[in-house]
């Protein structure tokens, strides 16, 4: 493994770069990708962001969005594979296991390009030459900013880049509410604002651009689909494909829903189960010491952070929910213990 500062030497000459991030990118994934993309373009490199799948419309405002290639969209696979094969450098952001980028992972793994890993997830795989990894970092976006500063290039962060990075930090800290919101996070955010980040506008673009359908779906989910287990300190939503159709749901409409279950007083673990064409996708959240990434790995072929994890199973919604109800009964004594509070997304 090379020292991350050696990467600065490589970047002294123009490079052919691919930037990629995890499937179903969130604001940290896309904000980190387009943040570093705008910086790399500005400093004379050729760069392309390739995402494994598409992402919600409320992220489309980021500068450079129009140039993002979505790997699994029509006609893009071959183009993406060619770019990956011919790249000098591949930046892998906000994930640390090539399985998280689906089929794109094989192409990245096979490419002769030097790989750069910048991430904050647990248990990173060993596939990159240059690694900037910190599980204690609230977001990948703040690592991107710290790296640009380490390179002595803070002045290359313009307001568009600052907006992208601010978005990632804001969402991965739950709008500066989670315990991962450290003094350093506020200091970095203050610097981003001084570089031109439009903090209030970024917040509006991400959180306050709901469709009426989405708000009605939220109301329906809260009144009809939330199940609370007071004794076990757990709660979950189970959402069927029919529910999603009924409210004309778009990609991203269930984003943040799980937090309403976690916000019920006394709840230590919350889940969101969403029925898909080929099984059930789930999101898990917890407060304190209870590790949902371990649970996600053990029962749901997933992983993530201690207090925010996810997974996907090839089982129906009902079967998955029944399994979860069994699990919470089994773990009810641990779920009562919520001393140390930490949240990472
Ligand atoms: P979300 O619930 O927001 O989809 O995901 C929360 C976190 O769980 C993500 O940051 C990611 O680390 C992890 N995660 C979500 N889905 C999966 C999955 O299918 N597999 C693995 N390994 N991790 C996941
Ligand atoms: Mn992240």
Label residues 286-299 b or e (16+ Cβ within 10 Å = b): bbbebbbbebbbeb
* Closest ligand 1 atom to Cα of 97: 22
Within 6 A (CB) of ligand 1 lie 121, 283, 302-305, 308-312, 345
Q: Are residues 272 and 198 in the same domain?
A: no
**pLDDT tens-digit profile of 130-169?**
999 999 999 999 999 999 999 999 999 999 999 999 999 9
pLDDT of residue 292: 96
- Sheet containing 279-286, strands listed edge to edge, beginning at the edge strand earlier in sequence: 226-229, 234-239, 269-276, 279-286, 308-313, 303-304
Q: Tell me if 341 is assigned to some domain.
A: no
Q: State in Å: Cα 341 to ligand 1 middle.
A: 20
* Closest ligand 1 atom to Cα of 24: 4
Closest residue by CA, ligand 1 atom 14: 310
Structural domain of 242: 212-335
pLDDT of residue 237: 98
Q: State in Å: Cα 296 to ligand 1 middle.
A: 9
Find out whether 129 and 108 touch, Cβ atoms under 8 Å.
no
**pLDDT tens-digit profile of 13-26?**
999 999 999 999 99
**pLDDT tens-digit profile of 296-311?**
999 999 988 899 999 9
Displacement of CA 125 from its chain's centroid (Å): 17
Q: Are residues 65 and 144 in the same domain?
A: yes
244-to-251, 280, 321 alpha-carbon distances in Å: 10, 13, 17
- pLDDT reading at 277 higher than 80: yes
Find out whether 21 and 94 touch, Cβ atoms under 8 Å.
yes
Q: Are residues 202 and 231 in the same domain?
A: no
DSSP state of 2: B
Closest residue by CA, ligand 1 atom 11: 304
Mean pLDDT value of segment 178-182:
93
Q: Are residues 52 and 199 in the same domain?
A: yes
* Closest ligand 1 atom to Cα of 345: 10
Q: State in Å: Cα 225 to ligand 1 middle.
A: 22
Is the overall model pTM greater than 0.90, yes or no? yes
Closest residue by CA, ligand 1 atom 12: 304
Q: State in Å: Cα 259 to ligand 1 middle.
A: 14
Find out whether 20 and 101 touch, Cβ atoms under 8 Å.
yes
Q: Are residues 55 and 158 in the same domain?
A: yes
Q: State in Å: Cα 344 to ligand 2 middle.
A: 8
108-to-17, 100, 281 alpha-carbon distances in Å: 12, 12, 25
Q: Return the SS3 of 85.
A: helix
Closest residue by CA, ligand 1 atom 24: 310
- pLDDT reading at 212 higher than 90: yes
**pLDDT tens-digit profile of 26-39?**
999 999 999 999 99
Find out whether 291 and 283 touch, Cβ atoms under 8 Å.
no
Closest residue by CA, ligand 1 atom 13: 304
Find out whether 52 and 62 touch, Cβ atoms under 8 Å.
no
Q: Tell me if 344 is assigned to some domain.
A: no
Q: Are residues 110 and 247 in the same domain?
A: no
For a mutational test of ligand 1's pocket, the pick from 168, 309, 312, i.e. the residue with the most ligand atoms closer than 8 A to its C-beta, is 309
Q: Are residues 31 and 76 in the same domain?
A: yes
What CA–CA distance (Å, rounded) separates 197 from 161? 8
Q: Are residues 183 and 234 in the same domain?
A: no
Q: State in Å: Cα 46 to ligand 1 middle.
A: 30
Q: State in Å: Cα 172 to ligand 2 middle.
A: 6
Closest residue by CA, ligand 1 atom 7: 309
Find out whether 170 and 176 touch, Cβ atoms under 8 Å.
yes
What CA–CA distance (Å, rounded) separates 46 from 48? 7
Q: Are residues 141 and 265 in the same domain?
A: no
Q: Are residues 186 and 234 in the same domain?
A: no
Q: Which of 150, 49, 139, 46 is nearest to 92 (CA)?
A: 49
- Counting Cα atoms < 13 Å in the Cβ hemisphere of 339 gives 2
Burial label, 223 (beta-carbon count in 10 A; 0-12, 13-18, 19+): exposed
Phi and psi dihedrals of 52, rounded to 5?
Answer: -65, -35
Q: Number of structural domains, the chain?
A: 2
Strands 279-286 and 308-313: antiparallel
pLDDT of residue 185: 98
Q: What is the CATH number of the domain that holds 35?
A: 3.90.1640.10
Q: State the CB neighbour count (10 A cutoff) for residue 324.
A: 24
């Amino acid at each position: 493994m090379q020292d991350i500062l050696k990467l600065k030497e490589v970047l002294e000459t123009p490079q052919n770069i691919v930037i990629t991030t995890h499937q179903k990118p969130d604001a940290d994934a896309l904000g980190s990708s387009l943040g570093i993309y705008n910086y790399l373009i500005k400093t004379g490199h050729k760069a392309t962001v390739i995402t494994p799948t598409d992402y919600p419309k409320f992220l489309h405002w980021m500068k450079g969005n129009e140039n993002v290639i979505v790997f699994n969209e029509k006609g893009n696979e071959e183009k993406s594979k060619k770019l990956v094969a011919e790249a000098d450098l591949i930046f892998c952001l906000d994930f640390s296991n090539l399985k998280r980028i689906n089929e794109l992972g094989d192409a990245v793994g096979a490419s002769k390009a030097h790989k750069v890993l910048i991430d904050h997830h647990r248990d990173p795989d060993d596939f990159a030459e240059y690694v900037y990894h910190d599980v204690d970092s609230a977001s990948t976006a703040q690592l991107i900013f710290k790296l640009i500063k380490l390179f002595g290039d803070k002045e290359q962060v313009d307001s568009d880049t600052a907006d992208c990075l601010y978005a990632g930090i804001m969402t991965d800290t739950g709008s500066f509410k989670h315990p991962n919101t450290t003094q350093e996070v506020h200091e970095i955010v203050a610097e981003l604002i001084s570089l031109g980040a439009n903090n209030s506008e970024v917040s509006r673009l991400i959180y306050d651009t709901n469709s009426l359908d989405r708000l009605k779906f939220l109301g329906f989910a809260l009144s009809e689909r939330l199940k609370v287990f007071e004794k076990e300190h757990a709660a979950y939503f189970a959402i069927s494909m029919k529910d999603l159709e009924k409210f004309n749901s778009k990609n991203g409409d269930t984003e943040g829903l799980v937090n309403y279950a976690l916000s019920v007083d006394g709840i230590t673990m919350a889940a969101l189960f969403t029925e898909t064409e080929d099984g059930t996708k789930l999101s898990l959240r917890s407060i304190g010491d209870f590790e949902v990434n371990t649970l996600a790995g053990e029962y749901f072929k997933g992983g993530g952070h201690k207090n925010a994890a996810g997974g996907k199973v090839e089982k129906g919604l009902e079967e998955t929910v029944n399994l979860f109800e069994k699990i919470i009964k089994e773990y009810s004594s641990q779920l009562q213990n919520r001393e140390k509070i930490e949240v990472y997304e």
